[in-house]
């Protein structure tokens, strides 16, 4: 996949203190319009985008069908040129950090501006077996195929805040939310113990003599 870099990388906090700041340092979002909510969910300031760095043909579909690393290898062998996809909308639950440590998102493209790369497929019979020609070679077919959605890095797109349907995008992250909730509960418990124990010191014990005990019992 293209190795182009974005020029809008946000500055990182060198001394994170809050849990959200620590998560931000770990997440390493490459753009300033991505981050997390106070509860730990993933957040993008916009849900409509313009593609400024064209991805390889069918990169997302190849990652889905063959795995991410195979898709990267296929992208390295592919040829493509810049393309105007029009206004692209984020696909639900598609924001993720892949095994290469890079954030990706899937976008539905403008149907009137979809790309139609050529795809080579193997001809099969009704039983799914390859059809052979008279020389025993597998028959292949190459034809254009419509690419209705694409996978891109976050630094390959720019948010379109002026679009009439533009809005904030929030994607639930149950694992992180559970971590934040557990951390807050633990912190509250520790603070409660400190507050509760501050006014009740154990004090010193004094052993009473028999005469003192008798005086108290009168």
Beta bridge partners of 142: 120
Rg (C-alpha) for the chain, rounded Å, is 30
In this predicted model, which residue has the larger pLDDT, 31 or 18? 31
CA triple 142-138-143, angle to 5 deg = 5
What whole-number distance in Å separates Cα of residue 115 and Cα of residue 84?
9
Is residue 85 one of the residues assigned to a domain?
yes
Is residue 81 one of the residues assigned to a domain?
yes
pLDDT value at residue 5: 42
How many structural domains compose the chain? Answer: 1
C-alpha separations of 126 from 10, 131, 151 in Å: 54, 10, 32
147 secondary structure, DSSP code: B
Is residue 38 one of the residues assigned to a domain?
no
pLDDT value at residue 3: 46
In this predicted model, which residue has the larger pLDDT, 126 or 59? 59
Does pLDDT of 91 surpass 90?
yes
pLDDT value at residue 39: 85
With H, G, I as helix, E, B as strand and everything else as coil, classify residue 20.
Answer: helix
Domain interval for residue 122: 46-166
pLDDT, averaged across the chain:
85
Q: What is the pLDDT of residues 71-81, one digit of tens each?
A: 999 999 999 99
Q: Which of 140-144, 154-158, 163-167, 214-218 has the lowest mean pLDDT?
A: 214-218
Does pLDDT of 27 surpass 70?
yes
Is residue 95 one of the residues assigned to a domain?
yes
What whole-number distance in Å separates Cα of residue 10 and Cα of residue 40?
19
Is residue 73 one of the residues assigned to a domain?
yes
Is residue 14 one of the residues assigned to a domain?
no
Is residue 143 one of the residues assigned to a domain?
yes
The contacts of residue 69 (CB under 8 Å, 6+ apart) are 99
In this predicted model, which residue has the larger pLDDT, 58 or 8? 58
Is residue 182 one of the residues assigned to a domain?
no
What whole-number distance in Å separates Cα of residue 30 and Cα of residue 154?
7
Q: Token digits for 195?
A: 């507050």
What whole-number distance in Å separates Cα of residue 55 and Cα of residue 184?
41
């Amino acid at each position: 996949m293209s190795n182009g870099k974005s020029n809008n990388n946000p500055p990182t906090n060198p001394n994170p203190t809050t849990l959200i700041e620590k998560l931000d340092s770990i997440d390493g979002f490459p753009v300033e319009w991505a981050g997390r909510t106070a509860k730990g969910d993933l957040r993008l300031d916009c849900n409509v985008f313009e593609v400024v760095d064209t991805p390889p043909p069918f990169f997302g579909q190849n990652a889905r069908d063959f795995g991410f690393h195979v898709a990267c290898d296929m992208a390295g062998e592919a040829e493509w040129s810049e393309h105007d996809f029009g206004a692209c909308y984020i696909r639900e639950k598609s924001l993720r950090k892949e095994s290469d440590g890079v954030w990706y998102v899937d976008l539905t493209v403008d149907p009137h501006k979809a790309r139609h790369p050529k795809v080579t497929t193997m001809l099969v019979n009704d039983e799914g077996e390859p059809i052979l020609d008279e020389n025993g070679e597998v028959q292949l077919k190459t034809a254009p195929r419509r690419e209705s959605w694409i996978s891109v890095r976050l630094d390959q797109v720019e948010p379109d805040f002026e679009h009439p349907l533009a809005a904030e995008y929030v994607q639930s992250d149950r694992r992180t939310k559970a971590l934040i909730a557990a951390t807050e509960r633990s912190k509250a418990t520790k603070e409660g113990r400190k507050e509760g124990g501050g006014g009740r010191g154990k004090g010193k014990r004094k052993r009473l003599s028999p005469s003192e005990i008798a005086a108290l019992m009168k």
